[in-house]
Structure 1
Amino acid sequence: MTTTVKAVISRAKNEPVELTDIVIPDPGENDVIVRIQACGVCHTDLAYRDGGITDDYPFLLGHEAAGVVEQVGDRVTHVEVGDYVVLNWRAVCGQCRACKKGEPKYCFDTHNASKKMTLADGTELEAALGIGAFAEKTLVHEGQCTKVNSEADPAVAGLLGCGVMAGLGAAVNTGEVKRGESIAVIGVGGVGMAAIAGAAVAGATKIIAIDISDAKLARAKEEFGATHTINSSGLSDDELVEKVQEINGGFGVDVAVDAVGLPQTYKQAFYVRDLAGRVVLVGVPTPDMTLELPFLDVFSHGGALKSSWYGDCLPERDFPMYVDLYQEGRFPLDRFVDERIGIDGVEDAFGKMKQGEVLRSVVEFK
């Protein structure tokens, strides 16, 4: 028997989202229906709405979600009805060449639900990142459900489903920042703040936040663990490098994270690191962007140039750990939630996101 619920969809490029009825089919053999309790409003949802990912409209938006498993397919073994879960878009297959090499964080064939959710007229919906959680309920593959501590606030825990995990993983998993090392994070929106918080948990001693907003820089230091801040507005790249080196004893940093994803900010990350330092790109470029660097500089600086997808996370390992750290007061996951809204507030939340007014708006389902 199908289920009809309220959900937020995007019908056309750059058009306001719409709250409407959608139809959820019975789960396939390895699928589950999850009753959504909360879902964060992520930049990726805005990118879907504005045509920055694909043009497979209509989209069912939302993916940073936590909820309770309500129905399971006949062959589901990973979760049970009643389990409290955070949804993820890296349900690894275990069979692709990355998984077989022992690198499931690069899985090339992650699982999604076997059936499509639809509009009331039967039009199939493309679920954002295979999840689609701006909805009272959604259909996902069992592997997209990660069980976490049931005492954690859904509005907080669900943020690990994308942006927060991307940022903290960029610092900890991809950048491999270690106790006693130094790190610079360029761009302190939600992803950059998470990179800073991750570096603090990992024990980095110099954590430098770089942005053009004094308000964001103040939050980075007061709430998320930055030890130093630099407002880069009006600074040349050389001047920025000098300021980082002044803070870090005359040297560049061990890890430099570009959480913006522009050629200019990537170059800044490249040059503010120390010799043999690691550069991590977690900000997402657009298809029209190109990068130019002196080839000799690439050779002479050494080190590693890495891209970070989903913070190189493994949800089954990382989500429960960071929820537990939050519950213990050791990771400031709750500080990313700037406002709690109803399902009818998504379009307004996109506007606040564009203006840089919030780290995260979170839709709560009563």
Structure 2
Amino acid sequence: MPQAATPHEVRAVVALKKGAPVEVLPVLVPDPGPGEVLVAVQACGVCHTDLHYREGAVGDAFPYLLGHEAAGIVEAVGPGVTGLAPGDYVVLAWRAPCGACRSCRRGRPWYCFDSRNAARPATLLDGTPLTAALGIGAFAEKALVAAGQAVKVDPSARPEAAGLIGCGVMAGYGAAVHTGGVGSGDTVAVIGCGGVGSAAIAGASLAGARRVIAVDIEDRKLDAATGFGATDTVNSRGTDAVAAVRELTGGFGADVVIDAVGTPETYRQAFAMRDLAGTLVQVGVPEPDARVELPLSELFARGGALKPSWYGDCLPSRDFPVLIDLHLTRKLDLDAFVSETVALDEVEAAFTRMRAGEVLRSVVVL
């Protein structure tokens, strides 16, 4: 009888309990089973969602193996995997359409209700199973994922930049292009110019928007937003952002407003910034207890659409290679999102800088 494969012992960032600082611990990552691939992680972005897991805002299935915005090299493939081979350069996705759920069967795989993940979890050395953040867990030297989560891309893009399309850049770009449907000549306002908001600005600009208005409370972020395609900026710390956006759009409001913050205040601002029949896209992740109240008469009278955007309504196998190509042809500067590179044991400090708004993205390099 063949012997069972030996799990791979690697260093990884783990959130052991709610609100506690993360720790770098040895963990065991299994070899790939049927339909799975093992990826040697090269770089992984530090995303707000990882902080949400650490704080218990996503769930309570501690301990969590954090990290999900990653690029790396396929090291091994399990039985039945086609289209991927050891040595392939991939970006990891937390959506891997199953092809069989009611959404996939209706031709809407970007809404897949049964996204694929690896069947077996990584564990601590004592056998305690770890819950992988967004089904990935890539703050680790190796990650085990479903084959559909590993999207092959052009290896010319450096991993520090390429990995960011695995979550934040894709979410923001897709919020504008897919969920918001920004088109040629549209006016767009984006509230919050962190990594996701900046990607939404870039997406709106690439989609042909005539005016892209960046709204934030930090001048430094607003300055950076112009590099991603913002035509106008509004510092809302001491300014009525709704009035400012209306003034910049001839008194009408924007055709598409993207809330990349996700608080009740920014959502109400986004609602009021829309032109008649305009679209509000919420891509910022709210806290679990956040609530918003809007007048029903205004909902009816203003028309349009209020649309949440999960992952920018993306289809990774289609969209990741496109974004990499845009980067390589200098139409989308992914390198500009990388504020700093850090080591695994610097993730907790990177969370602090992220909270303070000091970075677009810290990226762990392995």
TM-score by length of 1: 0.97
The question of 1:216 aligning with 2:221 is answered: yes
The question of 1:90 aligning with 2:95 is answered: yes
Q: How far apart are the structure 2 equivalents of 1:103 and 1:334?
A: 31
Aligned to 2:142: 137
Q: 1:123 aligns with which of 119, 128, 131?
A: 128
CA contact (8 A) 2:193 2:215 kept: yes
Q: Which amino acid aligns with 2:280?
A: V
Residue 268 of structure 1 aligns to a residue whose secondary structure is: helix
The question of 1:111 aligning with 2:116 is answered: yes
Q: How far apart are the structure 2 equivalents of 1:170 and 1:351?
A: 26
Q: How far apart are the structure 2 equivalents of 1:306 and 1:234?
A: 28
Q: CA deviation at 1:216?
A: 0.9
CA contact (8 A) 2:215 2:241 kept: no
The question of 1:233 aligning with 2:234 is answered: no
CA contact (8 A) 2:93 2:316 kept: yes
Aligned to 1:48: 53
CA contact (8 A) 2:117 2:146 kept: yes
CA contact (8 A) 1:88 1:315 kept: yes
CA contact (8 A) 1:61 1:133 kept: yes
Residue 139 of structure 1 aligns to a residue whose secondary structure is: strand
Q: CA deviation at 1:23?
A: 0.7
Q: CA RMSD in A?
A: 0.9
Q: CA deviation at 1:250?
A: 2.5
The question of 1:274 aligning with 2:275 is answered: yes
Q: How far apart are the structure 2 equivalents of 1:24 and 1:216?
A: 38
Aligned to 2:155: 150
CA contact (8 A) 1:186 1:211 kept: yes
Q: How far apart are the structure 2 equivalents of 1:196 and 1:98?
A: 29
Residue 244 of structure 1 aligns to a residue whose secondary structure is: helix
Within 5 A, what are the aligned runs for 1:1-366? 1=5, 2-221=7-226, 223-235=227-239, 239-365=240-366
Q: Which amino acid aligns with 1:39?
A: C
Residue 339 of structure 2 aligns to a residue whose secondary structure is: strand
Residue 341 of structure 2 aligns to a residue whose secondary structure is: strand
Q: How far apart are the structure 2 equivalents of 1:146 and 1:13?
A: 32
Q: Deviations over 1:72-105 (max 9, x none)?
A: 1111113111110000010000111111111111
CA contact (8 A) 1:78 1:142 kept: no
Q: Which amino acid aligns with 1:317?
A: R
Q: Deviations over 1:262-306 (max 9, x none)?
A: 111111111111111111011111221221111111011111110
Q: How far apart are the structure 2 equivalents of 1:291 and 1:342?
A: 39
CA contact (8 A) 1:36 1:65 kept: yes
TM-score by length of 2: 0.97
Q: Number of aligned residue pairs: give it.
A: 361
CA contact (8 A) 1:99 1:106 kept: yes
CA contact (8 A) 1:28 1:73 kept: yes
Q: Deviations over 1:310-355 (max 9, x none)?
A: 0000001110001010011000211000001111111110110011
Unaligned stretches of 5+ residues in structure 1:
none
CA contact (8 A) 1:279 1:304 kept: yes
Q: CA deviation at 1:111?
A: 0.2
CA contact (8 A) 2:70 2:166 kept: yes
Q: Which amino acid aligns with 1:149?
A: D
Q: Deviations over 1:3-57 (max 9, x none)?
A: 1111111101111111111111121111110000000000011111111111111
CA contact (8 A) 1:5 1:21 kept: yes
Q: CA deviation at 1:232?
A: 1.1
Deviates further, 155-164 or 74-83: 74-83
Q: CA deviation at 1:161?
A: 0.6
Q: Deviations over 1:165-212 (max 9, x none)?
A: 111110111001011111000111111111001111111110000111
Q: CA deviation at 1:249?
A: 2.1
Q: How far apart are the structure 1 equivalents of 2:98 and 2:295?
A: 39
Residue identity (%) = 59
Q: How far apart are the structure 2 equivalents of 1:190 and 1:309?
A: 15
CA contact (8 A) 1:78 1:143 kept: no
Q: Which portions of structure 1, spanning 4 or more consecutive aligned residues, are displaced by more than 2 angstroms?
A: 239-242
Residue 284 of structure 1 aligns to a residue whose secondary structure is: coil
Q: How far apart are the structure 1 equivalents of 2:225 and 2:168?
A: 16
